Amino acid sequence: MDLVRDLLDQPVVDRNGRPMGRVDGIVLDLRADAPPRVVSIAIGPAVLGERLHRAIGRWVAAIEIACGVAEGRPIEIAMSDLRIANGEVHAGAAIGETAAGTVEKRVRGWLRRLPGE
């Protein structure tokens, strides 16, 4: 498997088929006596920002903190809980069991308060 081509930026869906985001990062276990091992994937705008530039990653993480959605971020899903099929990454968890669900609920609450909605 080519990690960058086959995994990075692929859509992630929960066990119920609901979108959770995209694979923004890949977490490796670097071992001195063996090849690196893929431990998990990371999902979150701060991870994507970090890929673009370290300063962008810190800036996005600061925005998450200021908005009160930084707890449990970035979301990491162990490789043992993933299945890859048809260009999608299927997680064994439901979105409500992760920080992605918390962020979604908070954003929906903010949107409900907008005038005209």
pLDDT at 52: 92
DSSP state of 11: E
The string of DSSP letters for 15-39 reads TTS-EEEE--EEEEE--TTS--EEE
Q: pLDDT (tens digit, 9 = 90+) per residue, 39-60?
A: 999 988 889 899 999 999 999 8
pLDDT at 64: 82
| Region 73-89 average pLDDT | 87
> Would you place residue 117 in the very low, low, confident or very high pLDDT band (cuts 50, 70, 90)?
low
Phi and psi at residue 64, to the nearest 5°: -60, -40
Q: Residue 93: name the closest of 27, 38, 24, 12 by CA.
A: 12
Domains of the chain listed by start with CATH number: 3-112 (2.30.30.240)
Give me the amino acid identity at 58: R
Instruction: Find tokens 């119920």 and name the residue.
Output: 16
Average confidence score pLDDT of the chain: 85
Q: How far is it, in rounded angstroms, from Cα 4 to Cα 103?
A: 27
Do β-strands 88-91 and 11-13 pair in parallel, antiparallel, or remain unpaired?
parallel
Radius of gyration of the chain (CA): 16
